[in-house]
Amino acid sequence: MTINAVTRIIEERSRPPVPADGAWPTPRVYPAPEFPFRGWQPPSPSGYMQSAGTPSESAIVIDSGASTLKVGWSFDKKPRFLIPPLLAKYKDRKYNKYCAFVGYDAYADATTRGQIRNAFESYTSVPVNWDVMEGILDYTFIKLGVDAEASVGRPIVMTEPVANLTYTRRMMNEVLFEAYGATSVTYGLDSLFSYRYNKGVSGLVVSSGHAATHVIPVIDRKPQLQSCARLNWGGSQAQEFLLKLLRLKFPNFPGKMYMEQMESYLKQFSYISTDFQADMSHYLDWAGLEAGNDIVIQYPFTEQVVVEKSAEEIARQEERKKESGRRLQEQAAKMRLEKLIKKEQELEYLQSLHQQYLNAPTKKEQRRILDDEEFKDEAALERAIRDLDRKIQKSRNKDLGNPADEETLEEQLNKFPLLDVPDDQLDEDGIKEKRHQRLMKSGVEARIRAKAEKERERARIAEEKRLDEEQRVNHPEDWIAGRRAQRNALLVKIKEQARAKADSSNRKGLASQQRMKTLANLASDGPKRKRRGGGDYDDDFGANDEDWGVYRTVATEPASDDEEPEEDAEAQLKDVEKELLEYDPTFTENDTFEAQNDWTKSLMHAFLRGALPGPGDSQREDHQLHLNVERIRVPEVIFQPSIAGVDQAGLVEIIEGIVMNRFNNASQQQALLKDVFLTGGNTLFTNFDERLNRELISTLPTEFGIKVRAASDPILDAWKGAAQWWSGSSSSERAAATVSRTEYFEKGSEYVKEHDLGNSVSPAYG
Amino acid sequence: MPATPQPEKDDAHQQLLDQMDIYYVKKAFRSPNWRPSQRRNKNIKQIVSEAQRREASVLATQNNSGASTPQPAASDGSATPQPNMAQAAQSLSTLVLERNLQKAANASHSPNVASGPGPAVTYTNIESAPSLYAAKKHYCDITGLPARYTDPKTKLRYHNQEIFGVVRTLPPGGPDQYLAARGANVVLK
């Protein structure tokens, strides 16, 4: 059985028909965000005044997040200000002074941005740069209006990373107690403060922040830190991943992309897909693209102004061109005329010379005349006269535009009379002339042969065409099969050419290696192998015309235009397809090479340019970013870390592992799963809770009654919880969690108290 | 002069900068005696490795915590001697180390038993483990769509024939960058 039908196994991407009003809606274009500079922030000293009445009761609450530091007073309802933990400190050369800008102020201009340093180690929530940290704390106390001598004079409540390193805590203690003279310091975990603020008792706290995601089980308000886990994925990693993806997607993007922009793209456009596999498969479908899956972001650009020439100007230019052409022609005509005159004078002179020669009295005199002009004999002189005469005739004809009375080749053949005369009837000159005529005659004969050859070729092509036509009429199936085969061969050739072109830059590519081999072969002059039986070695190079093709393969530049151009495979393909369209009923417009490569069918086009038609060539379109699959691909990493190459289990597997393996009591397991609590800025993605709920239900036994809830404000609840804890606790409760100044100096800088909202005591190492 | 507006704008910006600059702002609340150590900025890797070195050297010495020292009063033949806390208190950090080692040894026998507190929680050991399951789904390295195929030459995953064409026409070094985004590139050290 032969296969005579080709079914498509690749799903067809075809654009739905153009709507009735004739135009596609143009997608909304978002401008690229600027750096988050907020301008001058006034201080708010009112809190400090208020706290002055009860200095030991009013604490400064600092939620030191890796993304933003939230600062306020324990009696405030919400933090007074949020600043990113950044410091730009440098010496201004112009004014010869030091500068220090903190938080959003560090984004003021290009100089300050260039000097930005972060207090936290990148992609972790651990502060490592203490000079920066001090600068940030300076700024916060200034803005809080702290006005005391050599001491802040207030308790400080601060958050720290889960399982904080002892060294880090020691450094923070040193700074807070010794540089700022805090009266006491309390450390707590941001996620636990947030959970407390949201009135959680027993549950699983999932806290996904800027640098990491933590899962902490809490039972009866007691955090089970020995069972907590950290996934090294948070907002900062997501931003970096998005930046990486966009750089790969638009490798030649002219605009400048930076992390702060990625943050806003993630906040604005990203969301968690509730069914990632299904959503992803259809994300770039036409329906999806039209539903707004593709987000266009416009970066600043300057449009190149193409000066439109007026018709008048074009006409003037044309005129100028013609004018100069005319001038050239005139000059050439003048030159020709001058030459003609010169030739005529020469002819006159030669004729007079000939006359002189004829009239010369003696042979000696005749000889002298010829020798003076360096003629060998009279015949040479006569020939010179004849040639000149013919030349003059010819150029005159040309000037006057008379068609030269060209003789046909056959006529020319009859103009060699001497050839029929036997040699013995001729004198020496005659023989010479005869030889000359024979040469001329063979030239003419060669031309006749070439002409005949051309004629035959033409006839052959016509015959071929006729046969082809006959074949088409009599055996249409065979004819179509032949044409299809031809088309396939051309497609392969086009592909081959494209590959060769792409491969030419690759030094290790097959094409380059082949070329080097050929070069080496050509360069070695010794014969490759001796012919058996001796004799001169001749490699027959050049006997076959195709031999000369090696020079084409060796040349890196495309063949220069004086050679015949390579037959254009695409043009041939077009011809074949035209015929197929005409005679093959199964070959439709949709099957043509062009239609197959149409942009509406291209997945890459949808990926790179969304629903915008055609290749973009304006500056405006070059400066556009298209976000589509990235919108769900980047947030998905927290569920499938392998997408970004993070070698850790996904969030659902972590939760499953903690609940099922670390707790063997069913009531505890149930208590944990009944309240899965989401907090932290990275959980703000739309559908995060829904997706987690869905996945947990599908993975874990049904009887647990799984419930996922989000914090009322995933970003600020940690601070609010800390403030609420301080203001709502009795002094004994506070004392149990707080290291006072005396305790610090007594027990050392690593001393910390375990409490229900903080870390457990860990040994000296990390 | 044509450039007059520029300095004015510069001036305004400079004034803004001066206003925001906190270098010369009086910080009375700071202790005048505070002199931080010059080498206090360490990254996490340094901190962890230094602490681990210190720990190793402590364990290697004879200087144990003394918790296993028999208590003179209670040594009347009880089978399980209570840890001697009086002795152990002399060297608390060593005690913690010893406990961690003990727990770790126990945990290796029965990982699922969650009775009692496990080893102390540290920054490094709360990091969650690699997944126990093989990755179920693969995604196209170029587009992120589900990928059924892997190019044997570049090891890139791709969605369909068209993307394969793109994979094969990537410039030299291109495939590696895509692999790096997935953490699957080969790094020579």
pLDDT at A173 over 50: yes
pLDDT tens per residue across span A197-251: 999 999 999 999 999 999 999 999 999 998 999 999 999 999 999 999 999 999 8
Which among A642, A659, A663, A695 is the top mutation candidate for probing chain B, defined by the most B β-carbons within 10 Å of its own β-carbon?
A642
Q: What are phi and psi of B73, to 5 degrees?
A: -80, -40
Average pLDDT, integer, range A48-77: 91
Q: How far apart are CA A208 and CA A691, in angstroms?
A: 15
Helix A311-359 / helix A378-400 crossing angle, nearest 10 deg: 150
Q: Contact, A649 vs A233, CB < 8 A?
A: no
CA distances (Å), origin A273, targets A372, A656, A682, B18: 105, 21, 15, 47
Angle ∠(B10,B15,B19) on CA atoms, nearest 5: 150
Q: Work out the average pLDDT over A374-381.
A: 80
Q: Which of A131, A147, A230 sits opposite B126 (nearest CB)?
A: A230
**Percent of chain B residues past pLDDT 90, beyond the cut:** 22
Give domain status of residue A735, yes or no: yes
Minimal Cα distance from A596: which residue of B?
A: B162
Most A CBs within 10 Å, among B126, B142, B167, B186, to test the A interface: B126
**Of A687, A741, A681, nearest in space to A714 by CA:** A681
Residue A221: strand, helix, or coil: coil
Higher pLDDT, B104 or A390: A390
Is residue A596 classed as helix, strand or coil in its secondary structure?
Answer: helix
- Averaged pLDDT for residues A421-449: 84
Q: Please give, rounded to a whole number of angstroms, the shortest distance from the CA of A469 to a CA of chain B.
A: 37
What is the average per-residue pLDDT within A378-396? 83
Nearest CA in chain B to A630: B144
Query: A66: exposed, middle or buried (C-beta count within 10 Å: 0-12, 13-18, 19+)?
Result: buried
Asked if residue A14 has pLDDT above 90, the reply is: no
Which of B32, B128, B142 has the CB atom closest to A654's CB atom?
B128
| Minimal CA separation from B85 to chain A, in Å | 17
According to DSSP, residue A658 is labeled: I
Closest residue in A to B34 (Cα) is A179
pLDDT at A650: 93
**Which residues of chain A are within 8 Å of residue B23 when distances are taken between CB atoms?**
89, 97-100
Asked whether the beta carbons of residue B114 and residue A664 sit closer than 8 angstroms, the reply is yes
Residue with tokens 């919108």: A631
**Which chain A residue has the Cα nearest residue B39?**
A130
What six digits make up the tokens of A487?
A: 């088309």
- Cα–Cα dist A33/A516, whole Å: 51
Q: What is the pLDDT of residue B108?
A: 42
Query: Looking at CA atoms only, how far is residue A451 from chain B in angstroms?
Result: 48
Identify the three-state secondary structure at position A738: strand
Q: How many CA atoms lie within 13 A of B21 on its CB side?
A: 17
* A488 lies in some domain: no
Closest A-chain CA to B17: A108
As for how many domains chain A has, the answer is 2
pLDDT per position as a tens digit, B110-165? 343 333 445 678 888 889 999 888 777 899 999 999 999 999 989 999 998 889 98
Chain A interface disruption, residue of B26, B30, B55, most A CBs within 10 A: B30
Residue A406 CA from chain centroid, whole number = 63
CB contact (8 A) between residue A649 and residue B124: no
Whole-number pLDDT of residue B170: 86
Separation of alpha carbons A102 and A89, rounded Å: 9
pLDDT band at residue B4 under the 50/70/90 scheme: very low
pLDDT band for position A9 (cuts 50, 70, 90): very low
- Residue A369 falls within a domain, yes or no? yes
Residue in A762, A162, A662 with CA at minimum distance from that of residue B107:
A662
Q: B98 pLDDT band (50/70/90 cuts)?
A: low
Which residues of chain B neighbour A604 with C-beta distances below 8 Å? 142-143, 162-163, 166
Amino acid code (one letter) for A744: Y
Please give, rounded to a whole number of angstroms, the shortest distance from the CA of A689 to a CA of chain B. Answer: 21
Q: How far apart are CA A231 and CA A218, in angstroms?
A: 18
Work out how many CB contacts closer than 8 A connect A with B.
Answer: 251
Whether A689 maps to a domain, the answer reads no
| Cβ distance of A167 and B130 shorter than 8 Å | no
Strands A60-64 and A156-160: parallel
Of residues B139, B159, B148, B151, the one with CA closest to residue B175 = B151
CA torsion through residues A651, A123, B138, A689, sign: positive
User: Does A318 lie in the same domain as A187?
Assistant: no
**Over the range A358-396, which residues count as b (16 or more CB within 10 Å of their CB) and which as e?**
eeeeeeeebeebbeeeebeeeeebeebbeebeeebeeee
**Which residues on A lie below 8 Å from B27 (Cβ)?**
138, 141-142
Token pair belonging to B135: 């990755």
> What DSSP line would sit under A37-55, residue for residue?
---PPPP-THHHHHHHTST
Specify the pLDDT at position A648.
93
Note whether A292 and A68 are within 8 A (CB): no
Nearest alpha-carbon partner for A684 in A715, A651, A653, A644: A715
> How many CB atoms neighbour CB A187 within 10 A?
23
> Which residue in B has a C-alpha nearest to residue A225's C-alpha?
B121
Tell me: pLDDT of A714 over 90. yes
Q: Cα(first)–Cα(last) distance of chain B, in Å?
A: 60
H or E segment to which residue A624 belongs: strand A624-627
The amino acid present at A469, given as its one-letter code, is E
Domain region containing A346: 314-406
Q: A678, A708, A668, A484: which is closest to A580 by C-alpha? A: A484
pLDDT at res. A5: 45
Greater confidence, A562 or B38?
B38
pLDDT of residue A385 exceeding 80: yes
Question: What is the pLDDT, as a whole number, of residue A288?
Answer: 82
Instruction: Let me know if residue A739 belongs to a domain.
Output: yes
Cβ atoms A193, A718 nearer than 8 A: yes
User: Which residues on chain B are in Cβ contact (under 8 Å) with A244?
Assistant: 180-181
Question: Considering CB atoms only, which of B23, B31, B114 is closest to A178?
Answer: B31
Residue A48 confidence (pLDDT) above 60: yes
Q: ipTM above 0.90?
A: no
Closest Cα of chain A to B77: distance in Å?
A: 33
∠ Cα A388 A394 A398 (to 5°): 145
Question: Please, which pLDDT band fits residue B77 given cuts at 50, 70 and 90?
Answer: very low
**Is residue A49 situated within a structural domain?**
yes
Contacts of B95 in chain A (CB under 8 A): none
Residue A169 is part of a domain; what is its CATH number?
A: 3.30.420.40
Give the closest-approach CA distance of A684 to chain B in angstroms. Answer: 22
Per-residue model confidence (pLDDT) at position A265: 94
pLDDT given at position A532: 57
Closest residue in A to B107 (Cα) is A662
Domain boundary among A406, A432, A458: A406
Nearest to B126 among A167, A228, A644 (CB): A228
Are the beta carbons of B93 and A764 closer than 8 angstroms? yes
Q: Is the pLDDT of residue A510 over 90?
A: no
The domain boundary, picked from A356, A373, A406, lies at A406
Smallest CA–CA distance, residue B74 to chain A, in Å, is 29
Per-residue pLDDT, A533: 56
Q: Per-residue pLDDT tens for A251-291?
A: 889 889 999 999 999 999 999 999 999 999 889 888 888 78
| Measured distance CA(A99)–CA(A103) in Å, rounded | 14
Contacts of B187 in chain A (CB under 8 A): none
* Contact between A180 and B29 using a beta-carbon 8 Å cutoff: yes
Nearest Cα of chain B lies from the Cα of A71 at a distance, in angstroms, of: 17
Section B52-61 average pLDDT: 77
Closest to B184 measured CA to CA, from B128, B127, B139, B120:
B139
Both structure tokens of B152: 């044997």
- Which residues of chain B have a CB within 8 Å of the CB of A166? 51
Q: Give a yes or no: residue A401 inside a domain.
A: yes
Question: How far is residue A555 from each of residues A146, A519, A520, A545, A552, measured CA to CA in Å?
Answer: 77, 10, 14, 17, 5
Whether A613 and B128 have beta carbons less than 8 Å apart is answered as no
pLDDT-wise least confident of A419-423, A500-504, A639-643, B63-67: B63-67
Specify the pairing of strand A86-92 against strand A69-73. Answer: unpaired
pLDDT for position A766: 41
pLDDT for B87 equals 58
What is the rounded CA–CA span in Å between residue A234 and residue A64?
16
Token code pair at residue A766: 């990390």
Q: Do A633 and B54 touch (CB under 8 A)?
A: no
Domain boundary among A378, A406, A434: A406
Q: What is the mean pLDDT of chain A?
A: 85
Query: What's the confidence (pLDDT) of residue A405?
Result: 54
Structural domain contains residue A135: yes
Measured in whole angstroms, how far is the alpha carbon of residue A465 from the centre of its chain?
A: 48
Block residue for tokens 């009880």: B78
A346-360 pLDDT, tens digit each? 889 888 888 888 888
Assess whether pLDDT exceeds 60 at residue A689.
yes
Lowest mean pLDDT among A154-158, A423-427, A689-693: A423-427
Contacts of B29 in chain A (CB under 8 A): 141, 146-153, 180-181
Contact A637, A270 (CB under 8 A): no
In angstroms, rounded to a whole number, what is the distance separating the alpha carbons of residues B128 and A657? Answer: 10
Q: How far apart are alpha carbons A151 and A147 in whole angstroms?
A: 9
pLDDT at B69: 61
Contact A74, A158 (CB under 8 A): no
- Distance CA(A159)–CA(A226), nearest Å, equals 19
* Cα–Cα dist A68/A71, whole Å: 10
User: Using CB atoms, which residue from B50, B123, B184 is nearest to A645?
Assistant: B184
Query: For the residues of A538-564, what is the DSSP string, one character each?
Result: ---TTTSGGGGHHHHHH-SSPPPTTSP
Q: Closest residue of A to B15, CA-based?
A: A40
Distances (CA, A) of A390 to A60, A344, A383, A404, A509: 114, 11, 10, 12, 62
In Å, how far is B29's CA from the nearest CA of chain A? 4
Which residue in the set A141, A164, A178 is minimally distant from B29, CB to CB? Answer: A141
Residue B114 is predicted with a pLDDT of 39
Closest to B144 (Cβ–Cβ): which among A164, A280, A761? A280
Rounded Cα distance between A726 and A74, Å, is 6
Q: Max Cα separation, chain B?
A: 102
Query: Is A11's pLDDT higher than 60?
Result: no
Which residues of A are less than 8 Å from B33 in CB distance? Answer: 178
Scanning every residue of chain B, which has its alpha carbon at the shortest distance from the alpha carbon of A142? B27
Q: Does residue A259 contact residue A243 with C-beta atoms inside 8 Å?
A: yes
Contacts B160 to A, Cβ<8 Å: 10, 603
Identity at A275, one-letter amino acid code = D
Residue in B123, B127, B140, B158 to test binding to A, most A beta-carbons within 10 Å: B123
Average pLDDT over residues A744-759: 88
**Are B20 and A141 a contacting pair at CB < 8 A?**
no
CA pair distance A287, B117, nearest whole angstrom:
54
Q: How far apart are CA A162 and CA A169, in angstroms?
A: 11
Tell me what the mean pLDDT of segment A15-32 comes to.
72
Cβ(B83)–Cβ(B96) below 8 Å:
no
